[in-house]
Amino acid sequence: MEAHGEALSAADARLLRGPVLEQALRWVRSATGGEVKRCAPLAGGTSSAVHALDVAVAGSVRPLVLRRFVRTDWLAEEPDLAQREALVLERLAPGPVPAPELVAVDPDGALAGAPAVLMTRLPGAVVWRPRDLEPFLRGLAAALPAIHATPVGPGALPAYEPYALGSRRAPSWSRRPDVWERAFALLDAPPTGAAPCFLHRDYHPGNVLWAGGAVCGVVDWAVARIGPPAADVGHCRWNLARALGRDAADRFLALCGGDAYHPYWDVAAALGGYDAAELERKDPAEEEFLARAVAACR
């Protein structure tokens, strides 16, 4: 199974990795009082166009990141993505979570041509296939408690909900359609009991930066929510299973203290709001992950 964001269609590659519009660069110049000396796309993202910028300001160079929400389908469902990420970055700024600092936000795209967030660029790099798996998984697990402990005022963020299903039909290649039918039914009845907290909502290795063998940053905060902490654990498990295998996902859960973990969260992550075409592109290894979760829910 491929890691998140490793494959893009030609159309998505043009939209998300293509050149930044001059209108957006003018907004950056206005927001910083500087000149953009370098602009390069950052790999990995699938929901927005993210570019690394070097901006010359008062004799020094500021490393920044410009994130533009250019997918009209996402904006139709969540038009406040830029504003929400800006709010979250402001809330995280005084705390222990290593997140970018907000520089500027254009909530509706009136200035940048699309809703946009300009933020500081953190050091480090994304790691999907580490040399040493155990410290990698420990680092991912250790970063979550500080995220979940972030104080956020009531009503500041939406409540967590599983991504809406785009299809309730098993892939045509599946030999176990009953697994999918049971999974679709399970998604409608989330477990109760866990106290809600601040969630990243898209926590996985592609949104974690590493330097010197340690986590040095967590990025991509636009879909943050308030909800059960296990939602972040399940989302990361699903991505780990796809990239590194089931054993890695299980070890991550153990490091998170998974005794009270409900397999519902594996189901929610594995179904992920995929439409019929996306379900068709899944493979037997992904089906096996889902089957194990469904069996554990009984």
> What CATH number is given to the structural domain containing 93?
3.30.200.20
Domain count along the chain: 2
Q: Which domain holds residue 88?
A: 10-121
Which of 99, 121, 143 is the last residue in one of the domains? 121
Q: What is the pTM of this model?
A: 0.93
Coil vs helix vs strand at 51: strand
What's the pLDDT at 1?
47
What's the pLDDT at 46?
84
Is residue 111 assigned to a domain? Answer: yes
Task: Give strand ranges (E) for 219-284.
Answer: 225-227
141 and 107 both lie in a single domain: no
Indicate the pairing of strand 49-57 with strand 35-41: antiparallel
Q: Could you say which residues of the chain have pLDDT below 50?
A: 1-2
What's the pLDDT at 6?
56
Distance CA 244, CA 205 (A): 11
Residue 166 in tokens: 């785009």
Distance CA 287, CA 262 (A): 18
Which of 121, 143, 161 is the last residue in one of the domains? 121
Which of 83, 99, 121 is the last residue in one of the domains? 121
| Closest C-alpha among 152, 158, 264, 163 to residue 197 | 152
pLDDT digits (tens, 9 = 90+) for 74-125: 899 899 999 999 999 999 998 999 999 999 999 999 999 999 999 999 999 9
Give the CATH number of the domain where residue 215 resides.
1.10.510.10
* Dihedral sign from CA coordinates of 75, 80, 86, 92: negative
Is residue 1 assigned to a domain? Answer: no
Is residue 220 assigned to a domain? Answer: yes
43 to 3, 56, 125: CA distances (angstroms): 12, 23, 11
141 and 288 both lie in a single domain: yes
